[in-house]
Amino acid sequence: MVAEHADAIIGFVKLRIMHALDRPIFVPRSYAEVDSLAVRAQYRRAGVGRALMERAERWAADHGLNEVELNVWEFNQGAIAFYEELGYVTERRQMRRVISNGNS
């Protein structure tokens, strides 16, 4: 989905339908995942991102989905604040550690 102004694309949101694995430790479910959201810098804080996310949520509902998930980098505090303002909550955290593999 795109947001346009004066015949130019000023933002977009990319969604996909996801299906949780049918495994003993998972509850089978389908949900929408926001793969990407971007708004041109000069249009940020003007409601474009909010409008795109609202449209994404309507799209999900229209497809029989009742959840929307997304990932956001920990350093991106502006995006985290934006999503929290829209009602999104942190559900899990992905962590990593770089280790030597013995070849370096």
- How does pLDDT run across 31-51, given as a tens digit for each residue? 999 999 999 999 999 999 999
> Using an 8 Å Cβ cutoff, are 40 and 11 in contact?
yes
User: Is the confidence at residue 23, as pLDDT, over 80?
Assistant: no
Ordered by where they begin, the domains of the chain are 2-85 (3.40.630.30)
What is the pTM (predicted TM-score) of this model?
Answer: 0.85
Q: How far is CA 66 from CA 6, 30, 58, 59, in A?
A: 34, 8, 10, 10
Distance, CA of 89 to CA of 83 (rounded, Å)? 8
Among 33, 45, 43, CA closest to 79: 45
> Using an 8 Å Cβ cutoff, are 71 and 91 in contact?
no
Distance, CA of 84 to CA of 14 (rounded, Å)? 19
